[in-house]
A and B are shown apart, each in its own frame.
Chain A
């Protein structure tokens, strides 16, 4: 009659555990309830069993057990005898379990030797007698008492665990499982297609360079970086550029770029830099030679005063958006520090940089090689004429609010045109063929030429400029929006105003061999025939990298295809508003921007 013993084993075994803890010796109402629960459970377990004993037997045993437990709580000394009995009973139960179907199944699944039989049997034994939800139990690991819930986790030996231990065990078990792959992140909450198009416009299709990846990671974790160490200047510049993308340059991050031995400082977005920060820069970086600051509103008179008080010799000074800096301070600066200055680039100064300033430059800056004045509201023709006196100038760029007359430009060209390498006039509606003629007659070293939005230059003028010009081939040429403008008869360009066929052919014949960047944006009078002739099958423009032909109405699929054939090194072609471009296959590694359909560019072999 082995089975009969079964129900008695568990309750008393439990009690033994309990009595070992002095606090729980007294028989409180909770304990009584627990015992009742355990008895109920024992009965359930017995009924489950195949060879269950008669109900009568079980009740007798139960009564016995509860009495025994009560005795235990009163007299601990009686323990030994009872526990011997329990052990015997437990052993019998386990022996019985070993014969049961469940045991055999588990053993087969585990595929272990007979040595582990006892362990398996004991595990089954413990599982069967696990407490039901709602009742109390002792945690298997920490032995604390806790209320069993349906969510209680089973421990390694089959017993139940309290909530903290259960959580820990669950975590451990989960840790062993392979981690789920994180879903692919989309950039900035926009669709992947949009992100892809954005990357195309940024010019990086395919894999990014390792340096770019590093710099991007760095920009995401600026706060963690203490110093950039001794990275080469071009990498520091790269980092500085990417910092401007999210206005990361602040008082806290500025020290990354400003060190006592800093010679070159490029601030691409100084909107968050305060006046104090600026003073700090000139205090710390005493060896500063090249200073560039964009959106640097806080560069005021006080800052300039401080610069004047320091022994800093700037070679290159680039300031954008400092419209609080007065003209007097500009003059003071140029008079005091002008001698070392080789490059001066000034953008968005409102009315604080005028004709007089040009004269001051001419007087005080004998080494000035590069002068750029853009988005300036004060400089007029007189000031432009004054530029002719800056005899050392190699690079000149002007973008003025007042439209400059050709009479102001030609004297400059005849004076310093011979050595000029860069000549850039942005938005000069009045500039006419005399400027082109002057370029033709004077310039012999030009590498970069820009004349934009001229409304009066003619095709003949352009053709003359590029025919038999003694200047070597240009590398960068920008003639955007040099075209005929008329509200009444936009299609009747009877006088061939703007860059048309002959001018375009002449410029490609002159500079095609070395040309790297060409911008003929909105030169809409260039015909299909001219394009086809320039990019014919014998033509070769080995250096051409960037071509901007947006709003050239006559550009067709065939012409774009011919461009790809004639320019083996082409990287980017812009065709916004070229409505005749419909379905062109783009070679790998080339970017075609602005295709007038929803699909965008189609790379060869990807459709």
Chain B
């Protein structure tokens, strides 16, 4: 963590205005979010710990946030149950996952 000790939580905002408060460490699984919120960077997002995603609806962002916590919870486990993905938003979620850089398997902290 940074010396300025940024908040333990960050806020992610969907296109329709829903705000999700997420544990910072969990959100860091996404390299894109990580880049946006890097305390060393001068992005407005990093200063206020708020990210607005204009392309992601609240339903999809909700699932993404769920994934963040799913990953955070199982990051040190070997045998992990699969997370449920609702079929209806599968494709939207896939596009969003790609956008957020969540398509690489080696997310395990080594």
Q: Which of B84-105 contact A (CB under 8 A)?
A: 85, 87, 90-91, 93-95, 97-98, 100, 102-105
With CB as the reference atom, state the residue of chain A lying closest to B100: A210
Which residues of chain A are near B77, meaning CB under 8 Å?
Answer: 206-207
Q: Does B41 contact A (CB under 8 A)?
A: no
Q: Does B75 contact A (CB under 8 A)?
A: yes
Q: Judge whether B106 and A589 touch: CB under 8 Å.
A: yes
Give chain A interface residues in 197-239, CB to chain B under 8 Å: 199, 203-218, 221, 224-225, 228-229, 231-232, 234-235, 238
Quick one: given A192-B79, A196-B79, A212-B103, are A229 and B95 in contact (CB under 8 Å)? yes
Q: Mark B33-45, 1 if CB is under 8 A from A, else 0.
A: 0000000000000
Are B103 and A211 within 8 A (Cβ)?
A: yes
Q: How far is the CB of B82 from chain A (nearest CB, A)?
A: 6
Residues of A with C-beta under 8 A to B70: 207
Residue pair A203, B67 in contact (C-beta under 8 Å): no
A587 to chain B, nearest CB (A): 8
Contact of B110 among A199, A231, A589 (CB under 8 A): A589
The answer for the CA separation of A35 and B39 in the assembled complex, in Å, is: 85
Once bound together, how far apart are the Cα atoms of A215 and B12, in whole Å? 24
Asked if B107 and A209 make an inter-chain contact with CB atoms under 8 angstroms apart, the answer reads: yes
> What is the interface of chain A, defined by CB distance below 8 A to chain B?
184, 192, 196, 199, 203-218, 221, 224-225, 228-229, 231-232, 234-235, 238, 571, 587-589, 603, 606
Q: Measured between C-beta atoms, what is the minimum distance from B65 to chain A in Å? A: 11
**B107 contacts A207, C-beta separation under 8 Å:** yes
B74 neighbours in A (Cβ, 8 Å):
206-207
| B107 and A214 form a contact (CB under 8 A) | no
The A-contacting residues of B in range 34-84, CB under 8 angstroms, are 64, 67, 70-71, 74-75, 77-83
Cross-chain contact B94 with A215 (CB below 8 angstroms): yes
11 CB contacts below 8 A, A to B, read A207-B75, A207-B107, A209-B97, A209-B103, A214-B90, A216-B82, A218-B94, A221-B87, A221-B90, A231-B98, A606-B78
> Contacts of A184 on B, CB cut-off 8 Å?
81
- In the complex, besides A206-B75, A215-B94, A221-B90, 20 extra interface pairs with C-beta distance below 8 angstroms are A196-B79, A204-B105, A207-B70, A207-B77, A207-B80, A207-B107, A207-B108, A209-B102, A211-B97, A213-B85, A216-B85, A217-B90, A218-B90, A224-B87, A225-B91, A231-B91, A231-B94, A231-B98, A235-B94, A235-B98
Known A221-B90, A606-B78; judge A210-B67 contact (CB<8 A). yes
Given contacts A589-B110, A606-B78, contact A210 B91 (CB under 8 A): no
| Residue contact A214 to B81, C-beta cutoff 8 Å | no
A192 to B78, CA, bound (A): 12
Total interface residues on B, CB under 8 Å, equals 31
Give the one of A203, A209, A214, A238 with max B CB within 10 A. Answer: A214
Name, among A205, A213, A603, A606, the residue most crowded by chain B CB atoms within 10 Å (CB to CB).
Answer: A213
| Given A208-B82, A231-B95: A588 in contact with B110 (beta carbons within 8 A) | yes
Inter-chain contact B98/A232, CB cutoff 8 Å: yes
- A205 to B106 Cα, complex, angstroms: 9
A209 near B104 (CB under 8 angstroms)? yes
Query: A211 and B102: CB pair below 8 A?
Result: yes
Separation of A232 and B87 alpha carbons in the complex (Å): 20
Contact B71 A205 (CB under 8 A): no
Residue pair A214, B85 in contact (C-beta under 8 Å)? yes
Is A203 a contact partner of B64 (Cβ separation < 8 A)? no
- Given A209-B107, A210-B97: A218 in contact with B82 (beta carbons within 8 A): no
A214-B93 contact given A221-B87, A231-B98, CB 8 Å threshold: yes
Q: Cα distance A212–B85 when bound, in Å? A: 11
Closest-CB distance, A311 to chain B (whole angstroms): 32
Give the residues in chain B near A232, CB-CB below 8 Å: 98
Which 9 residue pairs spanning A and B have beta carbons closest together? Answer: A211-B103, A214-B94, A210-B102, A210-B97, A217-B85, A589-B110, A211-B97, A206-B108, A210-B67
